[in-house]
Structure 1
Amino acid sequence: MGGNGMARQVILFVAQSLDGYIAKLNGSVDFLNQQTAHGVDIDREYDKLTEHVDTVVMGRKTYSQVVNQLSPEIYPYVDFQNYIMTSKPAPSTENLHFVSGSVDQLVEKLKKQTGKDIWIIGGSSIITPLVNANLIDVYQIGVVPEILGEGIPLFPHEVKTHHLELISAEKINQVAYLTYHRLHE
């Protein structure tokens, strides 16, 4: 438990197309950047999230995409403890931990440690087991006004049924931010 008596929350913060895809079939997420760049209002959702997060969890594909394509100059998550799920563990550094095994076991372990909240970055190979184990406390999903027709779904067919509670729906420029909490069964 954290010092304030609150357990660490596991937060899925992710953007998707209107038809539910987090990336194109080739892995490209350029449609998200085009959408989130438009508009006059300052979108502070990311900043608000990172104020209460100290740990990020992602898959190896997502990590590779970040360091090779999306942000090769500056690693954007340098201020966090990073857990990268991989079948081929690499040497860890001070804040980059390459971990094999099951992501739900890792997240259960992290939840028991003291600290701030845990941000699940993606992709679906990471998200699916966490949904199925009911380990995600907060789903914050930005829906961009694009219909892709095909791509990599946020929730693939392997996910189990879950009922969530809608906490808020907010429009910022052209993005609809939907925030759901898990129901404690």
Structure 2
Amino acid sequence: MTRTVYETATSLDGFIADQDNSLEWLFAVEGAQEGEAIDSTAEFINGAGAILTGATTYEWILQEQGHKPWPYQTPTWVLTHRDLPRVEGDLRFLSADTDEELRALHEEMVRTADGKDIWVVGGGRVAAELARLGLLDEVRVSVAPVSLGGGAPLLDGRVRLRPLSARLAGAFACLNYAVIKD
């Protein structure tokens, strides 16, 4: 059964990017490029059947990749209200401004995922909107031992969670939560 999972890294104070929309802080953490946390994330990503991302996260990935082809073979939907640079890859650009449009998009992604999970890359606003509509099933965060003091929030809105598991993976605390659906 397809689950919709928001998997990301966050600072200890709950930010997925700093005030400049940078992730340099994350890659500066000792062991961030290797080890159990990155292996677990890679395993999840490789098993995903569909990817959903917001425009800012998409642009950050492109910049980090040097505008090379999209790094994932998995069909990817990019939510945006502006023209974005296009690269080679299985990419779909759209806006989903209403609850009905977001639900229809999610249904399309579930069909495409064909029993595999949907990976919500980011950001926090996209994940919170999915949760509000009862479409987000799980939140998985790798908490880095750093405080940013501001930036892009992990979740941009109230989301109630139930703990599933917690473990240490190198310098990271890996926390898995089920989303409580009202």
TM-score range, shorter chain: 0.7 to 0.9
Distance change (3 Å), C-alpha of 1:93 and 1:150: closer
When residues 49 and 33 of structure 1 are mapped into structure 2, their CA distance, relative to the original with a 3 A threshold, is same
Which residue number in structure 2 is paired with residue 55 of structure 1?
Answer: 50
Q: How does 1:40-79 map to 2 (within 5 A)?
A: 41-43=35-37, 44-68=39-63, 70-72=64-66, 74-75=68-69, 77-79=71-73
Closer, same or farther in 2 for the Cα pair 1:95/1:41, shift >3 Å?
closer
The answer to whether structure 1 residue 109 and structure 2 residue 116 are counterparts is: no
- From 33, 37, 40, the equivalent of 2:31 is 37
Instruction: Name the amino acid aligned to 1:136.
Output: L
Aligned match of 2:177: 180
**More moved, 18-27 vs 39-48:** 39-48
Q: Give 5+ residue unaligned stretches, structure 1.
A: 1-5
What is the one-letter code of the residue matched to 2:44? Answer: L
Instruction: Please list, as runs of the form range in 1=range in 2, the aligned pairs for 1:114-153 lying within 5 A after superposition.
Output: 114-153=114-153
Task: Note closer, same or farther for the CA distance 1:86–1:39 as it changes in structure 2 (3 Å cut).
Answer: closer
Identity over aligned pairs, percent: 24
Query: 2:164 aligns to what?
Result: 167
**TM-score normalized by structure 2?**
0.83
Offset at residue 166 of structure 1 (A): 1.2
Structure 2: unaligned runs, 5 residues or longer: none
Distance in structure 2 (CA, Å) of the matches to 1:40 and 1:63: 23
Aligned alpha-carbon RMSD (Å): 2.6
Name the CA shift for 1:73/1:92 in 2 (closer, same or farther; >3 Å): closer
CA distance in 2: counterparts of 1:40 and 1:61, whole angstroms: 25
Instruction: Tell me the TM-score normalized by structure 1.
Output: 0.82
Matches within 5 A, 1:85-100: 85-88=79-82, 95-100=90-95
| Aligned position for 2:78 | 84
Question: Structure 1 residues 183, 36: CA separation in 2 closer, same or farther (over 3 Å shift)?
Answer: farther
Number of aligned residue pairs: give it. 175
